[in-house]
Structure 1
Amino acid sequence: MSVPWSGTAVAHGSVADPVSRGCDCRLRRGSDFQNPAMAHEDPLCRQAWQDNPNAMRNWNGLYRNGSAGDSEAVIPDGRLCSGGRTEGGRSTSMDTAGAWRTTDVDSDLTVRLHDRASHGADSFLVYVTRQGSDPTTQPLTWNDLEPVATTGSYGPGRNHSIPVSTSGCGGRHVVHTIRQASPMDRTYFPCSDVDFG
């Protein structure tokens, strides 16, 4: 399936632009994940595929049931990008600090989620790492994050866009998007690596 605004093939449940870690690895390496050259060319995607190929094949299933809108209470520091190692730790590799591939963005950007199942959302919370945080050396913590957008509900639909304005961001950052899906208590936690230039 093609996302009209990015030209990227994705399934439901994750941020397509700027592309989330799992989605990016699946799209770029899904047919080439056993290539030994990945150890040098794309080491973080390689470790994700080696850690749990099922997580990469089901990258759009990075969600947690029952957080009741209080993600900070149920997701410990260092485990934000894996949803607190949900689903038995299937996506643990998403928490790995390092130089994940980035998407170039401007200080005003739009986070775009594609949801093939058209669930809609009760809300979106979008965070960007604070200037000075280094996602290449330390796993993400709640103190690293600055809220940049909070939305109300979105009705059923496949494409959701959240305008985001940041101030003073430069260089590498992580965009952490929390989507409270509707109509169930299911929360998605994709991390997208970006470069503000």
Structure 2
Amino acid sequence: MRSHQPDQSGGRPRSTVRRSLQALVLMFAMVVGTLPWTGAAQAHGTVIGPATRAYQCWKTWGNQHTNPAMQQQDPMCWQAFQANPDTMWNWMSQLRDGLAGQYQARTPDGQLCSNALARNDAVNQPGAWKTTAVSRNLTVQMYDQASHGADYFQVYVTKQGFNPATQRLGWGNLDLIATTGRYAPAQNISFNVSLPARSGNQILFVLWKASHLDQTYMWCSDITIA
């Protein structure tokens, strides 16, 4: 039988050291597995003002996503975290490649808020999403961590009579209100839009065509027009 006595240097037995190292490796793997994936492929951006659904949930609850109060105080974010917390952790990575401008043909009604990504379907769900109060002269603020720039942005708002508490968003529910020009690569991009007359809660739908590749992003921001 192999001896477990310390070596002549007074150190611990090799088997003890080996078990300690194995435990450290296992612990490291478990910690890494709980971290959000934010590699280079995920480093993109989103509209932060007015906040998109995933970004609003991450900003409000990311540091306390296990807080049971979320279920009562912000039920739509609670539902989204239950469905797939990665939707919020990777709020800047809601993109699809190679749409070639065929946005409506390749993005089915009811899947606009998720950019037709099944993993993010929770943000398509109708309900009492938290809203941002805005004026009719609105500044849209975009954060692009990787500074890709934009070929353009398209900005839409829901038609009067659409109810985000009970309806999924479709193309027929939207009015196009602005198409911007190009923007040079930068982390922070902002532009002004004028909203048509609306009342009650609405959805601001923004489409971003990035400049570096044929990558398209789509998001929903819940607003109340003051």
AA at the equivalent of 2:181: G
Q: Indicate the residue corresponding to 1:80 in structure 2.
A: 112
Matches within 5 A, 1:81-100: 81-84=113-116, 86=117, 89-100=118-129
1:59 aligns to what SS in structure 2?
coil
* TM-score using structure 1 length: 0.90
2:64 aligns to what SS in structure 1?
coil
Aligned-pair RMSD on alpha carbons? 1.1
* Residue segments in structure 2 that go unaligned for 5+ positions in a row: 1-42
**How far does residue 153 in structure 1 lie from its aligned partner after superposition?**
1.2
Q: Tell me the distance in 1 between the aligned counterparts of 2:63 and 2:195.
A: 36
Q: Indicate the residue corresponding to 2:83 in structure 1.
A: 51
**How far does residue 53 in structure 1 lie from its aligned partner after superposition?**
1.1
Q: Percent identity?
A: 45
Q: Indicate the residue corresponding to 2:201 in structure 1.
A: 172
Find the partner of 2:184 among 151, 155, 158.
155
Find the partner of 1:129 among 158, 165, 181.
158
Q: Tell me the distance in 1 between the aligned counterparts of 2:135 and 2:44.
A: 25
- 2:222 is equivalent to residue 193 of structure 1: yes
Question: What CA deviation, in whole Å up to 9, does each residue of 1:139-162 have, x standing for no partner?
Answer: 001011001110121111111112
* Residue segments in structure 1 that go unaligned for 5+ positions in a row: 1-10
The higher-RCO structure (CA 8 Å, 6+ apart) is 1
Q: Tell me the distance in 2 between the aligned counterparts of 1:189 and 1:13.
A: 11
Find the partner of 1:111 among 130, 137, 140.
140
AA at the equivalent of 1:188: Y
**How far does residue 115 in structure 1 lie from its aligned partner after superposition?**
0.8
Flag the structure with larger Rg: 2
Q: Tell me the distance in 2 between the aligned counterparts of 1:31 and 1:108.
A: 32
Q: Indicate the residue corresponding to 1:3 in structure 2.
A: none
Q: Indicate the residue corresponding to 1:145 in structure 2.
A: 174
**How far does residue 56 in structure 1 lie from its aligned partner after superposition?**
1.2
Kindly tell me the number of residue pairs found equivalent between the two proteins: 184
Q: Tell me the distance in 1 between the aligned counterparts of 2:44 and 2:133.
A: 23
AA at the equivalent of 2:160: Q
8 Å contact 1:21–1:100 — kept in the other structure? yes
Question: What CA deviation, in whole Å up to 9, does each residue of 1:57-81 have, x standing for no partner?
Answer: 1111111111112210110000000
Question: What CA deviation, in whole Å up to 9, does each residue of 1:113-152 have, x standing for no partner?
Answer: 0112110011100000011111110000101100111012
4+ residue segments displaced more than 4 Å: none
AA at the equivalent of 1:71: Y
